[in-house]
């Protein structure tokens, strides 16, 4: 049995439709869904929902609103906060202090970044990230100023906070190393005991 798609006007088999009463074929519905998802508003909503989900997963403080996300994307002027690349269609919502490392899901802790910078930074402390990559110092100063303005604190308080975060990251990395060493040492000790028995 055939049916005509009301969008592309092609006659197609009924199996080419999600349901017999749907007016558009699967191909047209997929195209329409992709176009809807790529609107700027839907990208913002998707970024917002992702941030909320991640904050809940890590049980971190969360007072981020959709308007906060809209604001950050609007003032970014389509540019990455780290490298300055203009890429308005592909910007990510970036947590400066990662949620997985006890960063907060708040307006003062978010910015925009290009996919390359966001994926390269991962869960690193911002000071580690900028010290191991080449950046325009002016962009980083602007980022620090924005954080201070949004948190309604002095710029030096943000710098101190970032330094403390850096120290915490180093401590966590050292703890991980010690834990791995201790576990490996313990496994070797148990293997040694088994060999003696």
Task: Please say if the pLDDT value at position 176 is more than 60.
Answer: no
Residue where the block lists tokens 């997985």:
100
Distance between CA 31 and CA 149 in Å, rounded? 42
**Maximum Cα interatomic distance, the chain, rounded to a whole number of Å:** 80
Q: Is the pTM of this model over 0.85?
A: no
Ranges of beta strands (E only) in 114-167 are none
- Kindly report the average pLDDT of the chain as a whole number: 84
Residue 103: phi and psi, rounded to 5, are: -70, 160
Lowest mean pLDDT among 83-87, 110-114, 169-173: 169-173
DSSP state of 62: B
Determine if residue 111 is left, alpha or beta; phi over 0 gives left, psi from -120 to 50 gives alpha, anything else beta.
beta
Per residue, the 3-state secondary structure of the chain, as one string, reads: CEEECCCCCCEEEHHHCCCCCCCCCHHHHHHHHHHHHCCHHHHHHHHHHHHHHHHHHCCCCECCCHHHHHHHHHHHCCECCCCCCECCCCCEEEECCCHHHCCCECHHHEEEECHHHHHHHCCCCHHHHHHHCCCCHHHHHHHHHHHHHHHCCCHHHHHHHHHHHHHHHHHHHHHHHHHHHHHHHHHHHHHHHHHHC
- Position 71 scores a pLDDT of 94
Instruction: Classify domain 40-170 at the CATH topology level.
Output: Herpes Virus-1 (3.30.40)
Range list for CATH 3.30.40 in the chain: 40-170
Lowest mean pLDDT among 64-73, 105-114, 136-145, 147-156: 136-145
Q: What is the pLDDT of residues 89-104, one digit of tens each?
A: 899 999 998 998 888 9
Q: What is the pLDDT of residues 134-164, one digit of tens each?
A: 777 888 889 899 999 998 999 999 888 888 8
Share of the chain above pLDDT 70, in %: 85
Mean pLDDT, to the nearest integer, of 64-79? 94
């Amino acid at each position: 049995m055939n049916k005509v798609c009301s969008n592309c006007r092609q006659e197609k088999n009924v199996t080419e439709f999600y349901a017999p009463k749907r007016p558009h074929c699967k191909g047209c519905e997929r195209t329409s869904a992709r176009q809807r998802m790529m609107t700027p508003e839907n990208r913002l909503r998707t970024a917002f929902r992702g941030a909320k989900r991640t904050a809940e997963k890590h049980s971190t403080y969360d007072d981020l609103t959709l308007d906060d996300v809209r604001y950050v994307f609007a003032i970014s002027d389509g540019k990455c906060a780290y490298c300055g690349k203009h890429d308005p269609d592909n910007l990510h919502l970036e947590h400066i202090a990662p949620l997985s490392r006890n960063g907060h899901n708040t307006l003062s802790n978010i910015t925009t970044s290009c996919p390359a910078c966001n994926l390269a930074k991962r869960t690193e402390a911002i000071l580690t990230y900028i010290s191991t990559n080449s950046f325009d110092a002016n962009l980083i100063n602007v980022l620090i100023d924005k954080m201070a303005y949004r948190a309604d604190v002095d710029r030096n308080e943000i710098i101190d906070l970032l330094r403390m975060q850096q120290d915490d990251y180093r401590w966590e990395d050292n703890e991980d190393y010690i834990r791995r060493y201790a576990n490996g040492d313990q496994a070797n000790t148990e293997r040694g005991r088994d060999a003696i028995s």
